[in-house]
């Protein structure tokens, strides 16, 4: 049964996107549509550009030297269509609204509370009570509040792998993103921790649109409303199929 | 069989080399201690002057190393203060902003600078001092400031390269954390990259401090003299421990004077160790402050 809602609302549109690392092309003429409040799982063999595809949405590819991209990407943010490739939105604003979770949990070497408050402070929020409230809400959203509510002053590096990844998700959620990009978020975790993260990602659909890159086919089928495969058959093509 | 033998040999050889190094260091330090300890005391530092009066600034030291200690400390602090912002900013530029071509060109220039012998840097400082002497009717000449500037130039490459390398070596997950959370490039550098690279940067600073404290060639040409007393201003001549050690060991007239030279060596080692410890302690505090100041 198709898990995609009947009233699909377009959120992200890729239009003939090509991407190059130097002279090596990794994405070939990608055209695809992703829908609001949907979890789209992207799978495929290694080296096909799955992570690159995610990185295009919040312009993380800008951080890699000697790269170029052609085509267009349209994202519906705050009710308006913006194009990150045409740079008609500031990078900071784009990355706050299109958050990213990496394969390796990456808490900063500071306390749990400071890690959570960090993105808000970067955004210029100084109201202590507002920060506390948002930290609480985001940690609850990430199923982590009960486990860390008495340890907010402890170093985030002391958390377990799964807790660190949930902290990173909570840290991304604190900015109330409209899109959450997850680049193999469970690949460094054991099955129990991975299960909690899966459950968390599914629960987040009500608040944002999720794109999850994963190597695990069973996981992709379990959590994805849509499953897309990025594979190389001479030309890399992009197939869409309902789960 | 041969492979096992080769692996064992490499292991033993590495161990032997490390042991030899530690042994050499121990022999060297022991020799310095044996030769220098007898002369260590208030007389070496203050001569015949009353230490309290000297510290209160009421009396001058003529036959002790107190002025040289103060001169060395001033030199180290001044040179570091001059080289630190320049070096760190250049390192940040090379690591975070420079295009590959600029990185190669500017980085190459710093490598050339690192390879310049200190006597050449000293000669350059001397030329500047002569130029100033001619153009400011004798009011400016070889002095503490010119020595510090020359030493600052000498140690700049250490700070630049250590800053650049420690920033470039940061793992991608640290480099991209704040960026993915909407940090601007400057916010990322200031709040995440620099604090996380502080350990490497401070190694460069420690090296620089050591070099400033020990270099004799540069100061020899730019302002140090045998008897200047405690430096009264940045534009005054001064005494310094490395020069005192060089001077006394080449001009001594009796064994007691040579022993004073060894004593001065121990004092210089002590000052360097204390400065290293201060730098190390500051690194820890700075790391905490840099991460938590936002």
DSSP string for residues in B14-38: HHHHHHHHHHHHHHHHHHHHHHHGG
> Smallest Cβ distance to A92: which of B176, B182, B292?
B182
Residue A174 structural domain: 10-242
Residue A234 pLDDT grade (very low, low, confident, very high; cuts 50, 70, 90): very low
pLDDT higher than threshold 50 for residue B225: yes
Does the residue B58 lie in any domain? no
Query: Which ipTM value was assigned to this complex?
Result: 0.84
pLDDT computed for residue A3 by the predictor: 52
CATH of the domain at A171: 3.40.50.300
Residues of B with CB under 8 A from a CB of A: 100, 173-184, 187, 191-192, 196, 291-292, 294
Q: Is A185 on the interface with B (CB under 8 A)?
A: no
CATH of the domain at B167: 1.10.3720.10
Does the residue B225 lie in any domain? yes
- Tell me which of A204 and B141 has the higher pLDDT: A204
| B182 contacts on A by Cβ (under 8 Å) | 91-96, 119, 122-123, 175
- Tell me which of B228 and B71 has the higher pLDDT: B71
- Cβ distance of B294 and A95 shorter than 8 Å: no
Does the residue B15 lie in any domain? no
- Tell me which of B195 and B283 has the higher pLDDT: B195
| A106 contacts on B by Cβ (under 8 Å) | 173-174, 176-177
Does the residue B51 lie in any domain? no
Residue A1 pLDDT grade (very low, low, confident, very high; cuts 50, 70, 90): very low
Mean pLDDT of the A40-51 span: 86
Tens of pLDDT, residue by residue over A176-224, are 999 999 998 888 788 888 888 898 899 998 889 999 998 888 888 888 8
Q: Return the bridge partners of A100, or none.
A: A181
Contact between A232 and A48 under an 8 Å Cβ cutoff? The reply is yes
Does the residue B41 lie in any domain? no
Mean pLDDT of the A149-162 span: 91
pLDDT higher than threshold 50 for residue B241: yes
Q: CA–CA separation, B200 vs B160, rounded Å?
A: 11
- Tell me which of B285 and B78 has the higher pLDDT: B78
Tens of pLDDT, residue by residue over A52-63, are 999 999 998 888
Mean pLDDT of the A43-58 span: 88
> Which residues are CB-contacts of A189 (< 8 A; sequence separation ≥ 6)?
A161, A162, A165, A197
pLDDT computed for residue A77 by the predictor: 92
| B177 contacts on A by Cβ (under 8 Å) | 106, 108
Which tokens is B8 given?
Answer: 């064992």
Contact between A70 and A18 under an 8 Å Cβ cutoff? The reply is yes
Contact between A77 and A97 under an 8 Å Cβ cutoff? The reply is yes
- Cβ distance of B291 and A171 shorter than 8 Å: no
* Torsion angles phi and psi, residue A22, rounded to 5: 65, -120
Contact between B207 and B273 under an 8 Å Cβ cutoff? The reply is no
Nearest C-alpha in B relative to A94: B182
Residue A238 pLDDT grade (very low, low, confident, very high; cuts 50, 70, 90): low
- Cβ distance of B292 and A102 shorter than 8 Å: no
pLDDT computed for residue A6 by the predictor: 56
Q: Give the residue from B75, B103, B74 showing the smallest Cα distance to B91.
A: B103
Q: What is the mean pLDDT of chain A?
A: 86
Residue B173 pLDDT grade (very low, low, confident, very high; cuts 50, 70, 90): confident
Mean pLDDT of the B144-170 span: 93
- Give the closest-approach CA distance of B285 to chain A in angstroms: 14
Number of Cβ within 10 Å of residue B200's Cβ equals 20
Query: What are the b/e assignments for A153-182, b being 16+ CB within 10 Å?
Result: eeebeebeebbbbbbbbbbbbbbebbbbbb
Does the residue A42 lie in any domain? yes
- Give the closest-approach CA distance of A85 to chain B in angstroms: 16
Q: How many CA atoms lie within 13 A of B12 on its CB side?
A: 6
Nearest C-alpha in B relative to A120: B181
The residue written with tokens 């530092």 in the block is: B45
Split into its structural domains, chain B has a count of 1
The 8-class DSSP code of residue B39 comes to G
**Secondary structure, 3-state, chain A:** CCCCCCCCCEEEEEEEEEEEECCEEEEEEEEEEEECCCEEEEECCCCCCHHHHHHHHCCHHHHCCCEEEEEEEEEEECCEEECCCCCCCCHHHHHHHEEEECCCCCCCCCEHHHHHHHHHHHCCCCCHHHHHHHHHHHHHHCCCHHHHCCCCCCEHHHCCHHHHHHHHHHHHHCCCCCEEEEECCCCCCCHHHHHHHHHHHHHHHHCCEEEEECCCHHHHHHHCCEEEEEEEECEEEEEEEEC
pLDDT computed for residue B279 by the predictor: 83
- Cβ distance of B180 and A65 shorter than 8 Å: no
| B294 contacts on A by Cβ (under 8 Å) | 118, 121-122
pLDDT computed for residue B228 by the predictor: 82
Mean pLDDT of the B152-163 span: 94
| B190 contacts on A by Cβ (under 8 Å) | none
- Give the closest-approach CA distance of A216 to chain B in angstroms: 22
Q: Is A118 on the interface with B (CB under 8 A)?
A: yes
Distance between the two ends of chain B, CA-based, in angstroms? Answer: 59
Does the residue B39 lie in any domain? no
Q: Is A95 on the interface with B (CB under 8 A)?
A: yes
Residue A237 pLDDT grade (very low, low, confident, very high; cuts 50, 70, 90): very low
Tens of pLDDT, residue by residue over A81-138, are 999 888 888 999 999 999 999 988 889 888 999 999 999 999 999 899 999 999 999 9
* Torsion angles phi and psi, residue A65, rounded to 5: -70, 155
> Smallest Cβ distance to B182: which of A96, A106, A109?
A96
Nearest C-alpha in B relative to A55: B180
- Give the closest-approach CA distance of B184 to chain A in angstroms: 6
In order of A103, A145, A212, B178, the CA distances from A180 in angstroms are 14, 20, 8, 15
pLDDT computed for residue A232 by the predictor: 66
Contact between B237 and B220 under an 8 Å Cβ cutoff? The reply is no
Q: Give the residue from B192, B190, B160, B161 showing the smallest Cα distance to B175.
A: B192
| B288 contacts on A by Cβ (under 8 Å) | none
Does the residue B56 lie in any domain? no
- Cβ distance of A106 and B291 shorter than 8 Å: no
Q: Give the residue from B1, B23, B20 showing the smallest Cα distance to B9.
A: B1
Which tokens is B124 given?
Answer: 């350059």
Q: How many CA atoms lie within 13 A of A176 on its CB side?
A: 6
pLDDT computed for residue A76 by the predictor: 93
- Cβ distance of A106 and B176 shorter than 8 Å: yes
From its phi and psi, is residue A102 left (phi > 0), alpha (psi between -120 and 50) or beta? Answer: beta
pLDDT computed for residue A191 by the predictor: 84
- Tell me which of B252 and A3 has the higher pLDDT: B252
The residue written with tokens 């190393």 in the block is: B65
Mean pLDDT of the B42-71 span: 89
Q: Is the dihedral of CA A213, A215, A221, A223 positive or negative?
A: negative
Residue B179 structural domain: 67-292
Does the residue A3 lie in any domain? no
> Which residues are CB-contacts of A222 (< 8 A; sequence separation ≥ 6)?
A198
Q: Is the dihedral of CA A77, A118, A61, B91 positive or negative?
A: positive
| A63 contacts on B by Cβ (under 8 Å) | 175-176, 179
Pairing assessment for the beta strands A10-21 and A179-183 based on DSSP bridges = unpaired
> Which residues are CB-contacts of A138 (< 8 A; sequence separation ≥ 6)?
A116, A170, A171, A173, A174
pLDDT computed for residue B88 by the predictor: 94
pLDDT computed for residue B278 by the predictor: 87
Which tokens is B259 given?
Answer: 């022993």
The CA angle B61-B64-B65, to the nearest 5 degrees, is 105
> Which residues are CB-contacts of B280 (< 8 A; sequence separation ≥ 6)?
B202, B206
| A104 contacts on B by Cβ (under 8 Å) | 173
Q: CA–CA separation, B72 vs B70, rounded Å?
A: 5
Split into its structural domains, chain A has a count of 1
Does the residue A2 lie in any domain? no
The pTM of this model reads: 0.82
pLDDT higher than threshold 90 for residue B69: yes
């Amino acid at each position: 049964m198709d898990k995609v809602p009947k009233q699909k609302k377009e959120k992200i549109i890729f239009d003939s996107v090509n991407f190059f690392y130097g002279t090596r092309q990794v994405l070939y003429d990608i055209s695809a549509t992703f829908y609001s409040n949907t979890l789209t799982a992207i799978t495929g063999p290694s080296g096909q550009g799955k992570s690159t595809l995610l990185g295009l949405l919040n312009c993380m590819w800008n951080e890699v030297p000697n790269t170029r991209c052609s085509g267009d990407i349209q994202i519906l943010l705050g009710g308006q269509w913006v194009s990150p490739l045409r740079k008609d939105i500031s990078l900071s604003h784009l990355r706050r609204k299109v958050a990213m979770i990496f394969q390796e949990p990456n808490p900063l070497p500071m306390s749990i509370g400071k890690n959570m408050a960090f993105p808000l402070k970067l955004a210029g929020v100084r109201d202590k009570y507002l920060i506390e409230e948002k930290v609480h809400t985001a940690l609850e959203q990430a199923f982590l509040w009960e486990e860390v509510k008495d340890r907010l002053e402890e170093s985030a590096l002391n958390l377990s792998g799964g807790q660190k990844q949930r902290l990173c998700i909570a840290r991304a959620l604190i900015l109330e993103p409209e899109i959450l990009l997850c680049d193999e978020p469970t690949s460094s975790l054991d099955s129990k921790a991975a299960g909690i993260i899966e459950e968390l990602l599914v629960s987040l659909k009500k608040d944002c649109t999720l794109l999850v890159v994963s190597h695990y086919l069973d996981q992709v089928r379990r959590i994805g409303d849509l499953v897309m495969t990025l594979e190389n058959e001479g030309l890399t093509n992009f197939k869409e199929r309902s789960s | 069989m041969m492979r096992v033998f080769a692996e064992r040999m490499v292991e033993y050889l590495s161990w032997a080399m490390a042991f030899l190094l530690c042994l050499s260091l121990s022999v060297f330090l022991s020799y310095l201690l044996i030769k220098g300890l007898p002369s260590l005391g208030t007389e070496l530092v203050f001569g015949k002057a009353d230490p309290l009066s000297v510290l209160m600034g009421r009396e001058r030291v003529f036959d002790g190393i107190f002025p040289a200690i103060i001169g060395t400390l001033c030199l180290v602090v001044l040179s570091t203060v001059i080289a630190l912002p320049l070096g760190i900013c250049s390192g940040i530029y090379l690591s975070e902003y420079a295009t590959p071509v600029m990185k190669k060109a500017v980085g190459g220039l710093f490598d050339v600078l690192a390879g310049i012998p200190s006597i050449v840097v000293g000669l350059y400082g001397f030329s500047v001092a002569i130029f100033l002497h001619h153009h400011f009717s004798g009011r400016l000449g070889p002095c503490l400031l010119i020595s510090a500037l020359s030493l600052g130039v000498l140690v700049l490459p250490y700070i630049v390269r250590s800053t650049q390398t420690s920033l470039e070596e940061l793992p991608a997950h640290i480099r991209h954390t704040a960026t993915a959370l909407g940090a601007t490039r400057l916010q990322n550098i200031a709040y995440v990259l620099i604090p996380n690279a502080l350990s490497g940067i401070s190694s460069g600073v420690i090296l620089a401090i050591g070099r400033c404290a020990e270099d004799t060639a540069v100061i020899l040409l730019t302002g140090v003299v045998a008897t200047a007393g405690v430096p009264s201003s940045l534009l005054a001549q001064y005494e310094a421990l490395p020069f005192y050690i060089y001077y006394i060991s080449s001009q001594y007239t009796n064994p007691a004077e040579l022993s004073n030279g060894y004593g001065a060596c121990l004092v210089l080692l002590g000052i360097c160790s204390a400065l290293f410890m201060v730098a190390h302690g500051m690194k820890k505090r700075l790391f905490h402050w840099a991460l938590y100041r936002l």
